[in-house]
Structure 1
Amino acid sequence: MPIYCKRLHKKADTDDGYRIFVEKEWPNEVEEVRADIHEWVDGVAPSKELQKALDEEPKKFDSFKEAYKAELEQDELKREELQRLKEIVRMQDKDVTLVFSSEDVKRNHAWVLKEILDQQPAHPKE
């Protein structure tokens, strides 16, 4: 099934499929009920330091991407949460949308997660 990325502030749509929020904190300006989130996997969000570096220099997205992937591999909790996210995605029989709150809709960690998830084998049909 395809994996998409979508900003939390955009209206949920039935085409989104299973919506997974991948941020550490919930933005105050968005009501959880209206966001139509099925899962919240906050443990895969980048560290504050890494996120701050990206916010300050969004043009350095490639270096953020490499540092974030390293963080996901080296931090035990993040590694476990990434594995949990992979399992959630693998078990879906419909499209999955990774929901993020970043204002930059193309350069954020959700797209890195999508890249990682796209590389995993699909769930075998029974």
Structure 2
Amino acid sequence: MSVRVRRVYDPPEPEDGTRILVDRLWPRGLAKDAARVDEWPKALTPSTDLRRWYHAGEGSYEEFGERYAAELTAPEAAEALDRVRELLRDGPVTLLTASKDTATSHAAVLARLLDGA
């Protein structure tokens, strides 16, 4: 099982496998065919309230990760997470985000959850 996190603005690579955009909004200035996104499950994205809370600097990355993981237990999100797990059985998956710092992004939290599955 191989999960990667990359910026959606980076050029696609052969080892990306299935490319999944995990941002709620389409990345600014990026053409859809250039991004080569295979799936875009918006149910996997953090809620607007959680995203705003985190970006306002009101909590730590660890707390953000805990809150986001809790959101992923909602039925629609859990179903989307199961879909990604199915894709992982077939090969590598790359989680794509527009976040500049992928190491402290929601995509990194999601990757850790999938790696631990």
TM-score, normalised with respect to structure 1: 0.83
Indicate conservation of the 8 Å contact 1:8/1:100, yes or no.
yes
- Please report how far the alpha carbon of residue 96 of structure 1 lies from its aligned counterpart in structure 2 after TM superposition: 1.5
2:83 paired residue number: 84
1:123 paired residue number: none
1:113 aligns with 2:102: no
- Count of matched residue positions in the alignment of Structure 1 and Structure 2: 117
Could you tell me which runs of 5 or more consecutive residues in structure 1 were left unpaired when the two chains were aligned.
121-126
Opposite residue 97 of structure 2, the aligned amino acid is F
Opposite residue 89 of structure 1, the aligned amino acid is L
- Please report how far the alpha carbon of residue 105 of structure 1 lies from its aligned counterpart in structure 2 after TM superposition: 1.9
Q: Aligned to 1:51, what secondary structure does the other structure show?
A: helix
Give the % identical residues.
32
CA distance in 2, matches of 1:28, 1:42: 16
Deviations 1:33-80 (A, max 9, x none): 00111222221000001111121228710000001111111x222122
Between stretches 62-71 and 95-104, larger displacement belongs to: 95-104
CA distance in 2, matches of 1:39, 1:21: 6
Opposite residue 83 of structure 2, the aligned amino acid is R
Give 4+ residue runs of structure 1 displaced > 4 Å after superposition. none
Q: Aligned to 1:102, what secondary structure does the other structure show?
A: coil
Query: 1:1-126, aligned counterparts within 5 Å?
Result: 1-57=1-57, 60-73=60-73, 75-90=74-89, 92-93=90-91, 95-120=92-117
Could you tell me which runs of 5 or more consecutive residues in structure 2 were left unpaired when the two chains were aligned.
none
Give the RMSD, CA atoms, in angstroms.
1.7
Indicate conservation of the 8 Å contact 2:87/2:93, yes or no.
no
Opposite residue 103 of structure 2, the aligned amino acid is K
